[in-house]
DNA sequence: AGCGTGGCACGTACGCTGTACGTACGTCAA
DNA sequence: TTGACGTACGTACAGCGTACGTGCCACGCT
């Protein structure tokens, strides 16, 4: 049996969370999985809350960005967003935990740094880069919570919500009733990409607008999503 | 002392959550606040989880929509989004709880119905209405989690994150370091409206595109955000 | 080699949790 | 009057996070 270390404890915690859900996590349970007394954990972790913070930090550190600096910024932020989504799929239950607590670790700052740098290179001002990155994070967090929160167990869920939505009162909720098949359809990938594309194109348009305001001659629509004519927002 | 009822229990639970945070919630504590034995609660609520579900349902039912059916759909969805944000401010700690659990009540279906109806009236197909509403919900959930999750207590938080972000390594995180003042700035209202506006304008553009595809003669830009020329997405 | 020291695993114990269960008291129907 | 039922209560149990005290072991110094 290898020695008890902080990384081993964090790994055991993540394992337990993914296998049995966050509610099943207890210091005694983790210790038992490691073949160790409950109190021994406290030699490496100051409290249960600190352990969960460490779990969050680890999950965030697993995000691996593969975006090519040579690509257009639109493609780069798309790839970065997909990287975040990927770890949400690798650690679905833990991801809920990560998103439920404020970011406090350098591991969480790294993706932020990367996104901000990409946007600055694309020509966004500091203010706009922050605004844009905030909007993206909001969309990411909201999307992944929906995708992942719908997973009560590793079981494929199949008919639970299906049966639920099928019995809504069609007179009270005509739209929900009529669109139930679509609302139930679980093509998370398609839904995620739809919103992501929407956001990216909207931001691309705005970047062009602000660029034209500063240097009207430089209107050179490199992206094919250009709107060559249009009024800025009021 | 009025008789113990389910609504009174739910109200006491919300009160406790808002005053002391979700961690402070226990059946004994709620019962004590009501001047009642802990087990008496179980005559009205089948379990703690069911009580929290009831809390979520109540919070959702408090959303009050005031959008004018005569307004443009862009304004209507904006007002609807603000209505959701409003209850997140009225019940900040409870809102975290609501967003952490899947929607299972008619009270949660009502805002969805309203949004879908608005979008259908605006001319969106069923598929697009569902896609759009999903994207909006994702943005809403993500934004409100950030706004509200940053509130560890009712105390104004002021310097905690400020001090934290001030000490980031500027060589490891140059962007985060340089933009720290902006990242720390807590103008949630402005940030929320920025993303909301971005989404609405992006969706408006897309609606025009799809309308033109079906009936090119009907291109009549009622909104001032029109891009009169542009290619549809690939 | 002997010895002190510090870190680590352990067991016990305390106050808390959700809730199963048995009991007692009120009110209404027959 | 009597029975039944709904509600409030108290007790009890398993499990929780963790404060605290104990003992082992491996190391550095003399």
Q: Round to whole Å and give the CA distance between B61 and B69.
A: 20
Question: Rg of chain B's alpha carbons, rounded to an integer?
Answer: 22
Convert the pLDDT of each residue in A188-217 to its tens digit.
Answer: 999 999 999 999 999 998 877 776 666 655
A224 pLDDT higher than 70: no
Q: Which of B155, B67, B161, B156 is nearest to B115 (CA)?
A: B67
Cα B92 to its chain centre, rounded Å, is: 10
Q: Round to whole Å and give the CA distance between A53 and A98.
A: 8
Protein-contacted positions of strand D (CB under 7 Å) = 6-11, 15-21
For residue B229, the SS3 value is: strand
Place of tokens 């000490």: B167
Helices (H), B26-158: 27-33, 48-61, 73-90, 92-100, 106-121, 126-149
pLDDT, residue A234, reads 30
Place of tokens 């002021």: B158
Structure tokens at B96: 């975290």
A163 pLDDT higher than 50: no
Of B117, B201, B231, the CB nearest to A175: B117
Question: From the candidates B48, B60, B138, B166, which should be mutated to test the interface with A, based on the most A CB atoms within 10 A?
Answer: B138
Q: Round to whole Å and give the CA distance between B106 and B103.
A: 9
Q: Is the CB of A38 less than 7 A from some atom of nucleic acid strand C?
A: yes
Of B138, B174, B230, the CB nearest to A139: B138
Q: How far is the CA of A234 from the C1' of D18 (A)?
A: 58
A226 pLDDT higher than 60: no
pLDDT, residue A219, reads 47
Q: Rounded mean pLDDT of A172-193? A: 89
Q: How many Cβ pairs within 8 Å bridge chains A and B?
A: 190
Q: Round to whole Å and give the CA distance between A86 and A137.
A: 15
Convert the pLDDT of each residue in B81-98 to its tens digit.
Answer: 999 999 999 999 999 999
Q: Kindly state the DSSP code that residue B168 receives in the 8-state scheme.
A: S
Convert the pLDDT of each residue in B119-170 to its tens digit.
Answer: 999 999 999 999 999 999 999 999 999 998 765 433 333 334 444 555 677 7
Q: Which of A77, A136, A106 is nearest to B173 (CA)?
A: A106
| pLDDT-based confidence at residue A165 (cuts at 50, 70, 90) | low
Q: Give B183's contacts (C-beta < 8 A, 6+ positions apart).
A: A130, B165, B176
Q: How far is the CA of A139 from the C1' of C16 (A)?
A: 39
Of B150, B228, B233, the CB nearest to A102: B150
Mean pLDDT for chain B overall? 85
A148 vs A201: which has the higher pLDDT? A201
Structure tokens at B174: 């140059």
Q: How far is the CA of A6 from the C1' of C3 (A)?
A: 32
Structure tokens at A175: 């739209």
Q: How far is the CA of B10 from the C1' of C15 (A)?
A: 26
| pLDDT-based confidence at residue A158 (cuts at 50, 70, 90) | very low
B222 pLDDT higher than 90: no
Q: Rounded mean pLDDT of A86-110? A: 90
Mean pLDDT for chain A overall? 85
pLDDT, residue B206, reads 83
Name chain B contacts of A113, Cβ cutoff 8 Å. Answer: 172-176
Place of tokens 């989404």: B199
Convert the pLDDT of each residue in A63-94 to its tens digit.
Answer: 999 999 999 999 999 999 999 999 999 999 99
pLDDT, residue B3, reads 85
Q: Is the CB of A139 less than 7 A from some atom of nucleic acid strand D?
A: no
Q: Rounded mean pLDDT of B32-51? A: 97
Report the chain A residue with the minimal C-alpha distance to residue B162. A104
B140 and A139 Cβ atoms separated by less than 8 Å: no
Residues 17-76 of A near strand D (Cβ < 7 Å)?
25-29, 38-39, 42, 47-49
Q: Rounded mean pLDDT of B177-206? A: 91
pLDDT, residue B1, reads 65
């Amino acid at each position: 049996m290898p020695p008890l270390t902080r990384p081993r404890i964090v790994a055991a915690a993540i394992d337990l969370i993914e296998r049995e859900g966050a509610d099943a996590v207890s210091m005694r349970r983790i210790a038992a999985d490691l073949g160790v007394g409950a109190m021994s954990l406290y030699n490496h972790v100051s409290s249960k809350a600190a352990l969960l913070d460490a779990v969050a930090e680890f999950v965030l550190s697993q995000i691996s960005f593969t975006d090519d600096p040579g690509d257009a910024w639109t493609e780069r932020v798309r790839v970065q967003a997909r990287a975040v989504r990927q770890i949400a799929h690798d650690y679905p239950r833990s991801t809920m935990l990560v998103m439920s607590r404020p970011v406090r670790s350098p591991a969480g700052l790294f993706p932020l740094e990367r996104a901000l740098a990409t946007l600055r290179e694309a020509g966004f001002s500091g203010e706009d880069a922050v605004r844009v990155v905030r909007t993206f994070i909001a969309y990411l967090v909201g999307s992944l919570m929906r995708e992942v929160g719908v997973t009560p167990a590793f079981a494929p869920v199949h008919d639970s919500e299906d049966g639920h939505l099928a019995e809504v009162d069609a007179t009270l909720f005509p739209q929900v009733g009529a669109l139930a098949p679509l609302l139930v359809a679980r093509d998370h990938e398609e839904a995620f990409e739809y919103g992501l594309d929407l956001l990216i194109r909207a931001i691309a348009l705005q970047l062009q607008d602000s660029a034209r305001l500063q240097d009207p001659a430089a209107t050179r629509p490199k992206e094919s999503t250009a709107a060559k004519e249009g009024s800025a927002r009021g």
